[in-house]
Amino acid sequence: MQDRLLIFDTTLRDGEQSPGNTMNSQEKLRVAKQLETLGVDVIEAGFPIASEGDFESVKEIAETIKKSQVAALARANFEDIDRAWEAIKYGAQPRIHTFISTSDIHLKYQLRKDRDEVLEQAREAVKRARSYTSNVEFSAMDATRSDRDYLCQVLTTVIEAGAATVNVPDTVGYAVPEEFGALIRYIREHVPNISQAVISVHCHNDLGLAVANSIAAAVNGARQVECTINGIGERSGNASLEEIVMILRTRKDVFPVDTGIITEKIYPSSKLITSITGVSVQPNKAIVGANAFAHESGIHQDGLLKEKLTYEIMTPESVGIPKSSLVLGKHSGRHAFRDRIEALGHTLSDKELNLAFKRFKTLSDMKKDVYDEDIEMIIMDEVYRVPEKYRLAYINVVCGNMTIPTATVRMEIDGHSFQDAGFGDGPVDATFKVIQKITQTNSRVVKFYVNAITGGTDAQGEAFVKLEEDGATVIGKGVDTDVVVASGKAYVNAINRIEFVKRKKFERV
């Protein structure tokens, strides 16, 4: 019988704090619910001391999630630990995760403390956390560049102080698999009370080895891995949850552990993170990339038609990818539409279903085929959106190689209609300038791009606009068969998000 490997997901903390992956509180809660559905053992919800917004988000997640443990991160000081406990104390299964560096590099240049001072600080931090809950995790930051004997001394001390989980992070992605596996083995052999704690690992992907190092650790006795959906995270990211889980599941003949992850929920979870952050997964990404189960080679296609095992080591269905990308059309009914939405990982109220179904019917009259990606974007656009101060009613653009691009835009602002026109360097630029003029907003476009999210000449355009204003950065999304309209929708979605952030800040003052 295989041992159980705990999955500690830090998408909402390490993943969310990386550039481009910021989420608002509503989005974080949606992700947390999806992680619970996925079967994640521990959800690291955030860093409560970082901001009032992060505190409130962690608190809401802790009070909502029942099946997964909810962890809050805290530096090894009483203020952080007390704040973390305040955020999670009403949760069903709260965990305090405290950390301090143990490498001489960090001690000398960052902490400016000696080994004895750090040892005592680690001890007192764990004791403080232990006074609140028995579910305490301690992380020795930059463990892979730490002196092994000192690392073992720190781990022995924090276990004595009450840590139930000790985490060995490869904080800067420096280790290689054989070396990292040997480190875990060394800890098992040289920490006398290690049997009283679970060994965890947290690997970064700076050398592209985060998943390989995590697997090597599991082989050598680690029984918790810390990872993220799509491998998002600081710098080059974290170990990818979906890759770790499917390696262990696919190669049971080699590895001694398995997880409790419901693998059929992997793809919907990946799509949710992509839709919220606007950061696309590369097409050749293992497990969840667009080409992960695509075959173009004639030889491969021939083999697959005869026997799928010839070129597929796992089925797309096993990770939640539907067999067919052509799902619904204009003759489909409400019942079939609901079934498809649920298969994609969404649960909608009757009111939300009606909104999405109305949009689906409009789209199916415009397009011959409606794809799963179309349905996903309908849900994102019609159901999961911030309150609208601004609504785009009408866009008309005149452009060409012999005329100045001109946009005419009509909008509703708090229910009142406004219209204006203007010029730009191109149709999208003209549209953005007119919207900005009508709304009297002053956001700066940081990034803009358009993708075709389905195939064919009638493909929908998926536009993303990243705006910055007064230190707040948001991503707006828009979808339409007309890419200029999609771009306008994305811009308006973004300024609504900016307005939402402003209002939240004002409410906290």
Average pLDDT over the chain reads 89
Q: Which two tokens stand for residue 485?
A: 């309209």
- Do 147 and 119 contact (CB within 8 A), yes or no? no
| Burial label, 97 (beta-carbon count in 10 A; 0-12, 13-18, 19+) | buried
Q: Where does the pLDDT of residue 385 fall: very low under 50, low under 70, confident under 90, or very high at 90 and above?
A: low
Residues near 385 by beta carbon (within 8 Å), at least 6 away in sequence: 493, 496
- Do 283 and 58 contact (CB within 8 A), yes or no? no
Greater model confidence, 322 or 166? 166
- Do 32 and 272 contact (CB within 8 A), yes or no? no
> What values do phi and psi take at 420, rounded to 5?
-160, 170
- Over residues 165-186, the pLDDT tens digits come to 999 999 999 999 999 999 999 9
| Separation of alpha carbons 294 and 315, rounded Å | 11
No. of H helices and E strands in the chain?
16, 18
Residues near 171 by beta carbon (within 8 Å), at least 6 away in sequence: 141, 142, 143, 144, 202, 204
E-strand ranges in 16-161 read 42-46, 69-75, 94-101, 136-141
| Burial label, 201 (beta-carbon count in 10 A; 0-12, 13-18, 19+) | buried
The torsion defined by the Cα of 13, 18, 23 and 28, in degrees rounded to 10, comes to: -20
Q: Which two tokens stand for residue 48?
A: 């409560």
- Do 36 and 69 contact (CB within 8 A), yes or no? no
Greater model confidence, 453 or 262? 262
Q: Which amino acid is at 352?
A: E
Proportion of the chain in helix, strand, coil states, percent, rounded to 5: 45, 25, 30
Q: Which two tokens stand for residue 134?
A: 């028995």
- C-alpha triplet 445, 443, 387: angle, nearest 5°: 105
Q: Which amino acid is at 197?
A: A
Residues near 111 by beta carbon (within 8 Å), at least 6 away in sequence: 100, 101, 118
Query: Radius of gyration of the chain from Cα atoms?
Result: 25
Residue with tokens 């002053």: 442
- State yes or no: pLDDT of 341 exceeds 90: no
DSSP state for residue 133 in the 8-state scheme: -
- State yes or no: pLDDT of 113 exceeds 80: yes
- Over residues 409-445, the pLDDT tens digits come to 999 999 999 999 999 999 999 999 999 999 999 999 9
How many CA within 13 A on the CB side of residue 105?
8
For the residues of 420-444, what is the DSSP string, one character each? EEEE-SSHHHHHHHHHHHHHT---E
**Predicted local distance difference test score (pLDDT) of residue 379:** 78
- State yes or no: pLDDT of 311 exceeds 60: no
139 in the Ramachandran plot: left (φ > 0), alpha (ψ -120 to 50) or beta? beta
| Separation of alpha carbons 459 and 139, rounded Å | 48
- Over residues 358-378, the pLDDT tens digits come to 888 888 787 666 777 678 768
Q: Smallest Cα–Cα separation from 213: which of 168, 248, 180, 243?
A: 180
| Separation of alpha carbons 21 and 272, rounded Å | 12
Report the chain's terminal Cα–Cα distance, integer Å: 55
Quickly count: other Cβ atoms within 10 Å of residue 382's Cβ.
17
Question: How far from chain centre, in Å, is Cα 13?
Answer: 9
Q: Where does the pLDDT of residue 384 fall: very low under 50, low under 70, confident under 90, or very high at 90 and above?
A: low
- Over residues 5-54, the pLDDT tens digits come to 999 999 999 998 877 788 989 999 999 999 999 999 999 999 999 999 99
**Predicted local distance difference test score (pLDDT) of residue 405:** 94
